[in-house]
Structure 1
Amino acid sequence: MKNLLLLFFVIISGLAIAQKKEDAAIVRKQIIITKTASSPKIDGILNDEEWKSAPVATHFIERNPNNGKPQADSIKTEVKILYDDTGIYFGAQMYDPEPGKIARELTERDGISNDDFFGITLNGYNDKQQSLEFVVTAAGVQFDAKITTDGEDGSWNSIWYSGAKINEKGWAVEMKIPYSELRFPKSNVQEWGMNMFRRIQRIKASYDWNFVDNAKNSYTLFDGVLQGMENINTPTRLSFTPYFSTYINSFDGKTTANFNGGMDVKYGINDAFTFDMTLIPDFGQANFDNSILNLTPFEQQFSEQRTFFTEGTELFSKGGMFYSRRVGGEPSRYPVTAEHEEVLEYPSKVKLFNAFKISGRTKGGLGIGFFNGVTQEMEATVINTETGTTRKEIVEPWSNYNVLVFDQRFSGNSSVSVVNTNVTRDGNFRDANSTGILWDLINKKNTYKTFGSLKGSWVMDEGTTFGTRGEAGIEKIAGKHRFNINGNMTTKNWDINDLGFSTRTNFANYNAWYGYRILQPTEKLNNMYLNFNLNYFHRLEPFLNSNFVFNNNNSFTDKKFRVFGGGIEATPFGQNDIYEPRTEGRFLKIPAYFDTWVWFESDSRKKLQYNFTVDYYAFNETGRNQVFTNFGLRYRFSDRFNVHWSFNPSFSNNENGFAGKDNGEIFIGRRQRNTYENALTSKYTFNEKTALTLTFRHYFSDVTYKQFYTLNHDGTLADTNSFTRNLNGTYNAWNVDLRFSWWFAPGSQLTLLYRNATSNYLDISRLNVTKNYTMLFNESMVNNFSLKLTYFIDYNRLKKLINKKNVKS
């Protein structure tokens, strides 16, 4: 920890020197808009009377590939802006001399593919810290997101209105953003940060109304200014989204059916904060997990598929301390069985009873997020094999999960955050708590930053176990030449796995990175990134050199928009792996390796797009190597129909891995592993609101053990005949989803899903293809049909409708 503190003080000193220079002023365009007494029709046709006297924003500037180049008149962009008592309106004409070549591939909502698009970012607090983004493609598809200094959060969803049309000048879009979807202070006179942008896909060019300097790392710094709005009455931000769903399940000759209902509620507490709640949630139509045969010492981490947990996650993702899959995940205990007892039924998932979150950011830059979830008590059934009697045992009690985040932003892009997570379980089950302090301090010119964190974890389970994790670093974040120097340490008792995700512990890592990039296209390249990394790892207690890694990776885009690259990696001194033995204080020696890889991706504008990756590890050990490959094809039959196929074979020859333990001995096995993964996604999009999607995945992995050893205390291996268990195995996972989605109204969706799935694990390997599939399809298969309807109800629209009916009556 002393080394980490020393590094932190060196970093702070370096930042203080860098901050002595003042920031050069960023030029901000301004536009003053006017109020309209009537609203234009949102259909993508700019012939409404309201647009004729509206102020016009134009003179867009290229961001990519030629940063800073004015937009040519032949492809100019003109945007008219108005507002009324309910929202703000944008009418944009994108000039294009070849309207027939405008890219307009249809996708589902929030999907942008081979498309031209137009978008806006609005920051109601004009603080350059967080903007809301609204995008419409030339095919009329909507995309929305939050943009912060940390990047783009596409999980955020909003209810707004748009229309797009191809016309003789190019294409046009109209948008209405209701005030209920925006955040701004209560003030008689409003001044917002705003930028607008456009993409021309066939020339891969991006343009912005206010110039965005690619030498800097933050889009939010380059807002223009929107003025002229006065006396806006902030509407009540209240909406309800009830759902109804029904399922028919067939498995192992049994068919069951069930019906569910629940509701999501969203309420604007004030101009800054929003309350979201899900009551009796239903996640039955969430995408399937890409499970694998996991032979590592660590748990496999799955991405979140549940909508409530994927929307508006910007604050809760701070510090990487919240892993939402823990809420409603596996039970925390397995039944304790006596002699002649077996577990008859064990719940694979814990049921979520309800959850809510409050999040937002004040005018002063303080972001606050609070999440709370409650899960139900779950029981397992245990049977006595002699008497036939059964008993119930609680494997997960009623439990409460909460996350609290404070994130104070200041001086442009700097921030200090505090994150706390807590799990409280009823009864004598394990409880847990973790707290972290995070900082990002950026100088006034936005060229250097220091960053770091200090975190602690407390696990209460027959006593309290305390662990810590810390990090500090300095980084140059602007210009052609960039670098990063950082260090982090994690003690052996660090454990946030009750509500977070942590794997490696009891180590320290020191990293140095240098990167070079071109900021303007050259004669042969549109962009280039060269990166060089040095990493050193050691065990903390007791001290042990673990690994030293050199890495170089590079990426290029040529004038034909083909993207390619490659790199090398080496561990010249080998590795002392402190995790593979699954025993504290022990380690396994891994020989040095040299890794090289290449990858290529063809022009995404073409109907046929392909990509491949080949990654080869050569170990300093006879016959030991690893090969990882990926091949992908995507064919766009039309703007409505496309198919994407990927094939990922990998082979690991003569790797060494943990096999078992017995009487204090640790056994290591030498094994051959072959893995093949096939995935197919096909989508037919009828229009911007309706789509049919087929998703298929078959994963196959087999492992064959050739020889077993005992692990010596110096990390080397010794031959043994003591271990005789059969660890050979074959794992298959088969998933098919056929999904029909219809967005029949803003925020309202009907989804019909058919799901077919099975999996198996066999204690044999080296099966031929025919026998493997025969044994897989002999397994019981899940066949599931489900229909889910969600309907968005806006309080303000409902109130107007009721008032109109009362007036008529």
Structure 2
Amino acid sequence: MLKYYLFSLFFLWGFYCLSQETDSIFRKTIDIPRITEAPKIDGVLDDVAWQNAPVAKDFVERNPKNGRPIPDSLSTEVKIIYDDLGIYFGAYMKDPDPDKIGTELTERDDIGADDFFFILLNGYNDRQQSMQFIVTAAGVQYDAKMTNGNEDNSWDAVWYSEVKINDDGWVAEVFIPYFILRFPNKPVQEWGLNMEREVFRVRTRYSWNHIDNQKGAFSLYDGEIHGIKNIKTPTRLSFQPYVSAYANNYDGETSFNFNGGLDLKYGISDAFTLDMVLIPDFGQARFDNNVLNLSAFEVQFAEQRPFFNEGTELFSKGDMFYSRRIGGRPSSSPTVNEGEEVAFQPNAVELINATKVSGRTEGGLGIGLFNAVTNEAFAQIRNEESGETRTEMVEPFTNYNVAVLDQRFSDNSSVSFVNTNVTRLGRFRDANATGLYINHTNKANTWNYSASTEGSWVFQEEETVFGTEIQASAGKISGEHRVQARMDLRTLDYNINDLGFSTNTNYVRYMGYYGYRYLQPKGNLNNMFLNFNLNHFRRLDPDLFSNFTFNFNSSFTTKEFFGFGGGIETTPFGTNDIYEPRINGRHVQFPGYHDQWIWMNTDFRKKLAFEGFIDWYNYFEEGRSSIFLSLNPRYRFSNKFNLRYGLFYNPSYKEQGFVDMDGDDIIFGQRDRITVENSIGGNYIFNNKISLNLIFRHYYSGALYSKLYSLEQNGELTEEPERENIYDVTFNTWNLDLNFSWWFAPGSQITILYRNALDSYLQQSGQSFDENFDYLFSHPQLNSISIRLSYFLDYNRIRNAFSNMNNSNRVKPEKMTEGS
């Protein structure tokens, strides 16, 4: 193991010596004044406060022709002012064809065929993390946190905006309260700022401070706001109480549930925020896309619960935190004796509460603490002869904890420490994992290198199992030609799955990458990307060649915004798969393959748009192949109504995979597998606060086995024609969600959800279409309707409302909220 650490350090030092250059980013500045009377947020810049406001102008094209000055016909000027409550932006964006301004209505945090105005604010001016605020020409809000160019739109804030389309363009007026921002507690502020404007019909974007596409992340190119002085850090305290009601009908029985609870946010200091959910309710979270999983690893599902999605940028460091573990399946299964059967096995554990504390000091140190507690869970076991039942605990009271320290330096580099811990009461297993991460980009933003190491400890009874992972990479990240080299490994006992998500272990991997791209449009192309990749995998202990792949992929976008591309991949030496046998130390030999694919998408500016791909694996074995086909048309009937259809089709012939264990024998099977998925999505948007959303998905997958094999010690398969085939399988799942949402006040929402769901699992395959649907709909269906009301309460607004009753000279709340 020591040789890998030494190799990593030598490897990174060599690239570091090549990468030293100086920074040359030009930054605009703007000095803004304090006002005494706030403007009305109505999309009309006629208030006294705007008359002498400074103007940010001279925007520069970012895409597609990077660096070109904005034309006079699209001249954009933004006025900026501030007061004791927050900061105001008044953007006037000229347009010679105002009738062609994109104004598609969408749900909040979504952008369709829209022109928009974009604000990026960084209260610590560290060029690494900013708050992002977008308002479309249809008046729809979108907000996110951006860290080193990576966007997290799960963050939601309460701010105020209004737009107006005029005879010569459009206006966006925005008020951003201090209580949703983060900035140091000092007399004179200096914030990072950038702003952008998108003209959708020509897919052109302009930024205030020029963003050089040759190098560096988006946030490195902030300009600066000066002049903000002597503002008080507001009391950042808000509450989000909720009530919900559910009516569920399943298998002829109807049940009713009523819930109530509270989400709380409190600013412990100017830098740190406490988030807490008390009596959580996630009953309206979107359904998971369940699949028939025949692989060696579990399926990773996206987090659908808002509390676990929001404000998690610190906790995502190192990818050691997979929040679906909290409140997921129990960690153990019941003990079933002879003559017994499991009558009930819980598929989820109750979450009691969860708390997050996160923030960043003025010196760039980010600190994140997460803690959650889940309840006990019990299975029921029935005696088949007597009918008596007993209960057995499958999950005790459990505490989940994540701690993160993240120190930023040099505008674009960081050192991070992450620790995750799971502690269960009683005899159940506990776990701990620790990671250290270094990421450095030189000042010129031309070279990046990183290194990390992780350790995992699993404690069960008197045994402790330790595993580790290490990684090192270096690459040129600027210009038309880019390269990267990387090495990583995991030992056999590496396991972060009590609170993280990991799959492959016991490997070492070497990777190389070369990429070429257009930085400016050429000919009929707006952009082009060509990428070449080499990957060499080996089993770590004992050493064994696993795989060598060559991959080429490409992407092109024409000046008519037609996108297309494709690629090839090959494994010329075949694969020794060390995971499919499901037993450590064993492997199975699979033939090599050629993979080729193409994809395309039409111009999304059009009402009718289409995207799709076809991917064909052709193995070095007669008759063995797999095809992946995806078709996704969409149609925008109006600025209020759109529909999307998705088809995924995957026939796979003569694939081979694990099916069972027979004592010490590992049984494989040869199967033909067909997977078909149909989905429909649609939105009807009444206005920028009220929407109706449909999501439907039907998934089918069936596997029909033709041969069974025994796996030999050398990785070869020996056919066993006498073995009984009991492994055919068909799986269906059907989900439909119809959701009505109304943002009736800032941060406050009513949602009504109708849900229909059912699934089926059958140990045979090859049924006709009609037979398959008849069998699926013979199963009990879940029909559910629920309503949830949440209301946002901000301490500052409540306090100011009472103050305004006694002092008519204060800024009235309606001046901030009218038209928002």
What TM-score results when the alignment is normalised by the length of structure 1?
A: 0.98
Alignment-derived partner of residue 392 in structure 2: 393
Alignment-derived partner of residue 595 in structure 2: 595
Deviations 1:376-412 (A, max 9, x none): 1111122223223222211111000010011111011
Measured after TM superposition, the shift of residue 317 of structure 1 is 0.6
Distance in 2, Cα, partners of 1:351 & 1:529: 47
- How do 1:76-225 residues align onto structure 2 when only pairs under 5 Å count? 76-149=75-148, 151-225=150-224
Q: Which amino acid aligns with 1:362?
A: T
Preserved CA contact (<8 Å) 1:122 1:195? yes
Distance in 1, Cα, partners of 2:689 & 2:241: 20
Alignment-derived partner of residue 796 in structure 1: 796
Tell me if 1:564 matches 2:564.
Answer: yes
Distance in 2, Cα, partners of 1:663 & 1:227: 74
Alignment-derived partner of residue 818 in structure 2: none
Alignment-derived partner of residue 749 in structure 1: 749
Tell me if 1:471 matches 2:482.
Answer: no
Measured after TM superposition, the shift of residue 217 of structure 1 is 2.8
Q: Which amino acid aligns with 2:731?
A: Y
Alignment-derived partner of residue 554 in structure 1: 554
Distance in 2, Cα, partners of 1:404 & 1:714: 45
Alignment-derived partner of residue 231 in structure 1: 230
Q: Which amino acid aligns with 2:25?
A: I
Preserved CA contact (<8 Å) 1:18 1:443? no
Preserved CA contact (<8 Å) 2:315 2:368? yes
Q: Which amino acid aligns with 1:89?
A: Y
Alignment-derived partner of residue 283 in structure 2: 284
Measured after TM superposition, the shift of residue 7 of structure 1 is 3.3
Preserved CA contact (<8 Å) 1:360 1:368? yes
Q: Which amino acid aligns with 2:529?
A: Y
Q: 2:73 aligns to what SS in structure 1?
A: helix
Distance in 2, Cα, partners of 1:7 & 1:525: 42
Unaligned runs of 5+ in 2: 809-820
Measured after TM superposition, the shift of residue 240 of structure 1 is 0.3
- How do 1:298-697 residues align onto structure 2 when only pairs under 5 Å count? 298-462=297-461, 463-697=463-697
Preserved CA contact (<8 Å) 1:436 1:454? yes
Preserved CA contact (<8 Å) 1:7 1:472? no
Q: Which amino acid aligns with 2:801?
A: L
Q: Which amino acid aligns with 2:368?
A: G
Distance in 2, Cα, partners of 1:9 & 1:393: 50
Q: 1:773 aligns to what SS in structure 2?
A: helix
Which stretch shifts more, 386-395 or 541-550?
A: 386-395
- Matched positions, count: 807
Closer, same or farther: CA 569–3 of 1 in aligned 2, 3 Å: farther
Deviations 1:738-791 (A, max 9, x none): 000001111111000000000001111111111111111110000000000110
Q: Which amino acid aligns with 1:684?
A: Y
Measured after TM superposition, the shift of residue 123 of structure 1 is 1.0
Deviations 1:56-85 (A, max 9, x none): 111000010000000001001010111111
Alignment-derived partner of residue 31 in structure 2: 32
Which stretch shifts more, 150-159 or 742-751?
A: 150-159
Distance in 1, Cα, partners of 2:137 & 2:484: 40
Preserved CA contact (<8 Å) 1:381 1:392? yes
Alignment-derived partner of residue 814 in structure 2: none
Distance in 2, Cα, partners of 1:430 & 1:436: 21
Preserved CA contact (<8 Å) 2:658 2:669? yes
Distance in 2, Cα, partners of 1:466 & 1:12: 27
Q: Which amino acid aligns with 2:625?
A: N
Alignment-derived partner of residue 813 in structure 2: none
Measured after TM superposition, the shift of residue 805 of structure 1 is 5.5
Closer, same or farther: CA 673–47 of 1 in aligned 2, 3 Å: same
Deviations 1:314-352 (A, max 9, x none): 111110100000000001111112232222222110010
Distance in 2, Cα, partners of 1:226 & 1:738: 44
Preserved CA contact (<8 Å) 2:527 2:558? yes
Q: Which amino acid aligns with 1:249?
A: N
Preserved CA contact (<8 Å) 1:61 1:207? yes
Distance in 2, Cα, partners of 1:193 & 1:353: 39
Runs of 4+ in 1 over 6 A off after TM superposition: none
Measured after TM superposition, the shift of residue 185 of structure 1 is 1.0
Q: Which amino acid aligns with 2:473?
A: G
Measured after TM superposition, the shift of residue 446 of structure 1 is 1.1
Measured after TM superposition, the shift of residue 49 of structure 1 is 2.3
Preserved CA contact (<8 Å) 1:4 1:472? no
Preserved CA contact (<8 Å) 1:530 1:555? yes
Distance in 2, Cα, partners of 1:150 & 1:337: 52
Alignment-derived partner of residue 292 in structure 2: 293
Unaligned runs of 5+ in 1: none
Q: 1:319 aligns to what SS in structure 2?
A: helix
Which stretch shifts more, 721-730 or 512-521?
A: 721-730
Q: Which amino acid aligns with 2:651?
A: F
Preserved CA contact (<8 Å) 2:12 2:473? no
Preserved CA contact (<8 Å) 1:647 1:679? yes
Which stretch shifts more, 82-91 or 36-45?
A: 36-45
Deviations 1:38-66 (A, max 9, x none): 11111112222221111111100001000
What is the RMSD computed on CA atoms of the aligned residues? 1.2
Deviations 1:401-445 (A, max 9, x none): 010011111011111100000000011111000000011011121
Which stretch shifts more, 164-173 or 641-650?
A: 164-173
Which stretch shifts more, 341-350 or 68-77?
A: 341-350
Which stretch shifts more, 380-389 or 90-99?
A: 380-389
